[in-house]
Amino acid sequence: MPILGQHLIAEYYACLPELVQNSAALEQALLEAATQAKAEPVHLTWRFFEPYGISGILIIAQSHISIHTWPEYGFVSADFFTCGQENSPWIIYSALKKALQSQRTETYFHYRGQMGEGQAISYLPEGRHFQLAMQQKRTEHKPGLRERWFMSQSQDLLFNLQTDKNKDSVLLSRISPFQKIGLHQSHTLGKILVINDLVVANETDAFVFHEALTHSALLAHPAPARVLVLGAGEGGSVREVLKHQGVARIFAQEQDAILFEIGYEFLGGKPLSDPRVETHFVSSQTFLGACKQVFDVVIVDGMDTALQDRYLQSDAFLEQVQHLLADVSVLVLPLPSPLTEYSAYKTLLGLLKTRFAFCECYWAAASAASGGLQAFARLRKGTFDNQFFRKQDCLAMENQNLFRYFNTEIFQASRHLPSFFR
């Protein structure tokens, strides 16, 4: 049997930790390494681990490149498998070593497919890898992924989503101080917002979540004038709050200013330009610790993102936010899925009921990641009727075509829970 391929395993030590945990830098390094090796990228995917560490694989037309990182040790383990007898694995190895700024490496090399006597298996310490490939002059090659898949992740469930492969799907790619943010075009879901290569929102159905979250809170209050949106993200919930003319002031807290600006620039919103909106680009904990205001409605826009603020599901958060609620007020927040994350759902719901005399669950249609149903909690403070709902105002907004999902019937129906919610 002839030599069918070459397999190189590389261990990179003493790498820069900030590079090892940065998927954007790693992606650039992988694609540039493929460029130098004259390989053709086909598909790239990442998996992120708690509290840190990344695994990634780049499928190339010639086979694959995979890496696994341990930022706490500055260590990266990688393997490169290329078909044929070209020395391209060594080109990829050297390009990644430079990109990771590794101080020491170890390599293991194996021909694939050669049988019998002469099978070449070797352990090659630093400085003894093949140099011939590095002397070959190669034509310039700019790789472009033939197709691109992203994941929507919920606990141990992964849902894959493909971008539009008939044209350039990358609408935007930026690196903020906190995360990698991308906006891509999907054939079926329109624009998709991707944070650290995980899908967090899409143009086709994101309005369902934001409308159910915001209007169910605002219309359940007699006269909401001051509203706080925690974790404003790309601004979807703020845009919905702006539809209520009686709201005089909106405080929008979001740690990542670049993410909020992207929503303004590319997702059809105007939160940054509306004089009623006051933005605070700090962490939720910092904001709540310093805020001296009180609010009629507090909305926690707590979708799972790369910044996943677990403080928003803690007893310390509930204690702080209670001090910001007016005498008559409403607090609303999304709950973990009672289908796919029942234990977390039950724990948070129990915590809410210990803090608030009135805690009401409701639901909305949602994506597959939440089992098709999104659960919410609506908490009231004050003596007004717990069944209160401004039906006439809601009907007036319906007549103005301000809703795509929400309406009076949806509000009433959402309070009738499936049995498993209980």
For residues 387 and 415, give the distance between their C-alpha atoms in angstroms, rounded to a whole number: 10
Instruction: Provide the annotated active-site residues.
Output: 63, 68, 83
Strand partners, 297: 227, 330
Q: In 179-324, which ranges are E strands? A: 180-186, 190-195, 198-202, 226-230, 249-253, 277-280, 295-300
Element (H, E) at 344: helix 342-355
Q: What is the DSSP string of 192-226?
A: EEEETTEEEEETTTHHHHHHHHHHHHHTTSSS--E
CB 373 within 8 A of CB 363: yes
For residues 366 and 337, give the distance between their C-alpha atoms in angstroms, rounded to a whole number: 10
Element (H, E) at 75: strand 75-83
CB 180 within 8 A of CB 171: no
- How crowded is the C-beta side of 363, counted as CA atoms within 13 Å? 22
CB 293 within 8 A of CB 217: no
For residues 338 and 345, give the distance between their C-alpha atoms in angstroms, rounded to a whole number: 6
Nearest to 297 by CA among 239, 247, 359: 247
CB 255 within 8 A of CB 307: yes
